[in-house]
Structure 1
Amino acid sequence: MTPLPEHLQQASRARIRRAEKRARTALAELVRTGKPVSFTAVAREAAVSTDFLYHSPELRHQIERHHTPAGSTPAVPADPRRGSPTSAAVRALSARLTRQQQAHHEEVTRLRKALEVAQGENLDLRRRLGRHETD
């Protein structure tokens, strides 16, 4: 394969820099506003592909560091010391429900992360297969 002319290489590098800047800005905005951070959310906000984010080591590290599941804010049970007429049984069930919700959130987070990794690997394998088929 012949190398690209210098002006096309420069244009490609500039396009990549703009996309990286949009992705960093989108990530910062998601973190600042407290919205859930994921590869999909950053890609959507920055108008880039998730593949682009997965293949950029710096962006990937930043997104993984800030990754949060959707709806990760745990439910706050009622404070029994406020003189609430809530019975002990209702408080116990509320606490149990909160623990179950947290466990489900953690499981969903783990599964989403595994799915994102699998999708990235799948895309990479498809591209590699495509290169081998054209030979």
Structure 2
Amino acid sequence: MTPMPEHLRQATRARTEEAEKRARAALAELAKAGKPISFTAVARQAGVSTDFLYRSPELRTRIERHRAKRGPVPAATADPPGDPSTSAAVRALSARLTRQQETHREEVARLRKALEVAQGENLDLRRRLACYEAE
């Protein structure tokens, strides 16, 4: 694998630093407003993913420290299924899995119907054969 060019490394570093800055500001705003602090709340406020927050040791520690001060976040603030702070990869994989499940359900229903037809034909042929064997 070829190494990443320096200008791309710098751009990545700058983007990460900007996201960390937004996350720290969001954490401060939430704390100042007295709102419940969670990874999801900070991610929404800062416009970053929860994955980003969990992978940043400094931000993770800060959020966990604030959470510990206030106690557990009520269940009402749990992530809704289409949460924008969820990583894009997780959302894409979830959507793909949902489509595959639906496709498999349709295929199983089609195969069950075909099996019913085949079993009916098999039973009919056995009955016909039994008539010839009786003679």
**Alignment TM-score, normalising by the size of structure 2:** 0.52
Deviations 1:29-57 (A, max 9, x none): 00000000000000000000000000000
SS at match of 1:53: helix
Runs of 4 or more above 3 Å deviation = none
Q: Which amino acid is the alignment partner of residue 21 of structure 1? A: K
1:111-126 matched pairs, under 5 angstroms: none
Q: Does 1:51 align with 2:34?
A: no
Q: Which sections of structure 1, spanning at least 5 residues, go unmatched?
A: 71-104, 113-118, 127-135
**Alignment TM-score, normalising by the size of structure 1:** 0.52
RMSD: 2.4
Larger radius of gyration: 2
Determine the structure 2 residue equivalent to 1:13: 13
Alignment length, in residue pairs? 78
Distance 2:2 2:48 in 1: 27
Distance 2:43 2:2 in 1: 31
Distance 1:42 1:55 in 2: 14
Distance 1:2 1:46 in 2: 33
Distance 1:50 1:3 in 2: 28
Deviations 1:81-109 (A, max 9, x none): xxxxxxxxxxxxxxxxxxxxxxxx6xx5x
Distance 1:65 1:58 in 2: 11
Q: Which amino acid is the alignment partner of residue 30 of structure 1? A: L
Task: Report the CA distance between 1:2 and its aligned residue.
Answer: 1.5
Q: Which sections of structure 2, spanning at least 5 residues, go unmatched?
A: 79-85, 94-135
Distance 2:59 2:38 in 1: 11
SS at match of 2:58: helix
Determine the structure 2 residue equivalent to 1:33: 33
